Structures are given as structure tokens and as C-alpha cells.
Amino acid sequence: MNYRHAYHAGNFGDVLKHATLALVIEHLKQKPAPFRVIDTHAGVGLYELDNGPAEKTEEWRQGIGRLYGPDAKPPPKELVPLLAPYFAAVTAENAPGELRRYPGSPRLARTLMRQQDRLIVNELHPQDGLALKELFARDAQTKVLQLDGWIALKSLLPPKERRGVILVDPPYEQPGELERLAKGLREATSRFPTGIYLLWYPIKDPRVIETFHKAVTALNLQKLLVAELMIRRPRDVTRLNGTGLLMLNPPYRLDGMLAALLPFFASRLGEGPDASHRLIWLTGEPD
């Protein structure tokens, strides 16, 4: 386990993932019934951008740093409501006008949840798992586990609230992780078919992603939406050229929100005119 998210916190992949997760949580909050957020590969939960690994790589400067904080132009007016939940979670960690800390998915979810909602975060790396335990040590609404994420996924479903979002965000260190994702989705949905699932993936070689899309389409799930952002043309397929999110049972109108956000992300986070985006329904019709 070499991957440490601290080197990548706040990068363009995090922006797409976290802005979408925030919109999903806001959707769940429209009803008073409690919901549960399950984060199977959680990281440490909160990152310092001006210190340690994130400061070394500065990946966040091509991510959240272009959207929020002292060096960022404000987003266009019409996108402000769509970015508001995501930015609210970032604002919660920073002094006014600053961008020094960045919430990972656990902290973002925790900031946006209500009193009746629950969060389960799971992280296998011993040190990162411990940091996560410390972060939520006195929090009765959050449970921290240190299991293999795929085992956690099976054992935590269905949640007792029967409503919620499951984020599956593995590090893709091992070959075959995309196949594992498709298998994990099949097993998870057999236990909790009505959950909202967000599965993050990196895009190096787009041909590999097409094969993955075929594999998940073959699962015969009802509503599968894909959002992808390419920051450059994939000429060198050893680089992280883009990022994708596979969404099962996305909330009503999330596709329209992403259709508005993706061109903005491509223009702000991309490397010039070669940046691109796409939003496709692999199965199911738009609402």
C-alpha cells in the first residue's frame, strides 16, 4: 500500500468527485428521513495544502486552487448554486480568503450531514486509518473502520436507514482494480439496489475505460451515469490524463447539474483547448 492521498488532495480528480458527492448529499437532505454515507476507501479525511505532501506536489493548484481561494477567479454566477455545497465544505476548514486546508470525502460528508444522518468511513492503511480515527474520535455520528474496502462494502449493506450514498474510491495501485470495481458494484447492488453509488476512476488510457464501461453495462443495472473530465489529450497513456465518476441511481437532475459543471471544470482545470468532458448514460434514460 504505497498510495497516500495526501500527495493528491484537492487535485482535479478530487474536484469532480467531491463537488458531485456534495450535490448528492444536498439531494438526500431534501427529505427529513435520515441517510447514511459510506466511504469505503476514505483516506485521512483532512489535508494541509501548505505543508507536507500536498505542498510538495502542489497538485491542488491545478484543482481546487483554480476554483476557490486567493488565486481563483470566482465561478460564473449561474454555477454558484451548484458549487455552493462543495465550497461550503472547503470554507468550513479555512479562514476567510484563505485556502490552506482541504476536506477529503469523510470530512466533506461530515460537514454537510445533519444530526439524524450517519457516516461510516473505512481506511485500510494503518497510519491513515489511525489519523482518521483521531479526526472523528469524539463524533457519535461517525464510525471509523480499518477493513479491506471491498469487505467493508459487502458487510455494511444495506444500511438500516435504507437511504444513502456509497463512495468507492480505491487507489488503483493493483492491476485489475477496474474489474474489481465492476464486481464490487454487482455484489453491493444485490444487497442494496436502491443506494446511490459513486465510483471514482482515473483515466490514463481511454481504451481501458471503454472496456470497463462495457463490463458495468453488462451488469444490467437500471441507471448508470458517467461523468468524465480529460485535462489533456491522452497522448501519453502512462499519465493521469483524466478522471471519471460512475454513478448508479444518481439523484434526479444530477445529470443536468453535471452537464453545467463539466465544461466549466474542463476550461478551468484543463491544460488548454485539448481538455474535454463527457456525460453519458450507460444504461437508463435521463429523468
Ligand X SMILES: C[S@@+](CC[C@H](N)C(=O)[O-])C[C@H]1O[C@@H](n2cnc3c(N)ncnc32)[C@H](O)[C@@H]1O
Residue ranges that bind ligand X, judged by CB under 6 A: 1, 3, 5, 14, 17, 39, 41-43, 104-105, 122-125, 128, 148-149, 169-171
| Annotated catalytic residue 169 | yes
The smaller minimum CB distance to ligand X, of residues 171 and 250, is found at 171
CB-based contacts of 242, cutoff 8 Å, min separation 6: 202, 203, 206, 228, 229, 230, 231, 232, 234
Using CA atoms, how far apart are residues 45 and 58, in angstroms rounded to an integer? 18
| Helix orientation angle between 80-91 and 105-112, rounded to the nearest 10 degrees | 110
Query: Peptide bond preceding 70: is omega within 30 degrees of 0, i.e. cis?
Result: no
Alpha helices in 58-138 (DSSP H): 80-91, 105-112, 126-135
Q: Under DSSP, is residue 124 helix (H, G, I), strand (E, B) or coil?
A: coil
Q: How many CB atoms lie within 10 A of CB 24?
A: 25
Closest to ligand X by CB, 212 vs 284, is 212
**Residue of this chain nearest to ligand X (CB atom):** 104
- Could you tell me the smallest distance in angstroms from the CB atom of residue 132 to ligand X? 9
Q: Shortest gap between Cβ of 12 and ligand X (angstroms)?
A: 13
Closer to ligand X by Cβ: residue 122 or 142: 122
Closest approach of ligand X to the CB of residue 85, in Å: 15
Please pick, among 117, 128, 169, 255, the residue that the annotation labels catalytic: 169
Nearer to ligand X, 49 or 124 (CB): 124
Active site members: 169
